[in-house]
Amino acid sequence: MKAIIKTSKGDINLELFPDKAKLTVASFVNLSKRGFYNKLTFHRVITGFMAQGGDPNGNGTGGSGKSLKAEFNDIKHERGIVSMARSQDPDSADSQFFIFASKAKPVCKFNWFMVNFKIFNI
């Protein structure tokens, strides 16, 4: 399954893995088809590390209002992986996602934020 994020800087082509995160992929597709992501920005960009988007408030506090149950899987969290953003609660992912841009594996105090929610691959 494929998806495209169209940006002013060019298209981002995604491969979705419904066999690894069925509910999360279904939510992303549903929100996309409804136009939820249209005109939203990447509100958090850390050069060389990640870019986060999917927040209708544009500041990291918003979502669609439907939290997703965590879907842990075995996809490695490497450069190009798109993951669902969440709080420390594993079941708090909603509409926000981030694109991991680092060549190195994430090792920082926010590691809990990034682990085991790999659903797409660029």
Domain that holds residue 93: 2-121
Q: How far is residue 95's CA from residue 66's CA, in Å, rounded to a whole number?
A: 8
Q: Domain containing 26 — which CATH number?
A: 2.40.100.10
Return per-residue pLDDT of the chain as tens, 122 residues: 888 888 888 888 888 888 888 999 999 999 999 999 999 999 998 888 888 999 999 999 999 999 999 888 888 777 888 888 888 888 999 999 988 887 655 544 333 333 334 444 44
Look at the pTM and tell me if it is higher than 0.95.
no
Tell the residue number behind the tokens 């691959």, with chain if given: 121
Asked if 52 and 94 count as a contact pair (C-beta separation under 8 A), the reply is no
Q: How far is residue 118's CA from residue 83's CA, in Å, rounded to a whole number?
A: 5
Residue 121: helix, strand or coil by DSSP? strand
Tell the residue number behind the tokens 């490497």, with chain if given: 78
Please provide residue 7's backbone torsions phi and psi, each rounded to the nearest 5 degrees. -130, 170
Number of domains in the chain: 1
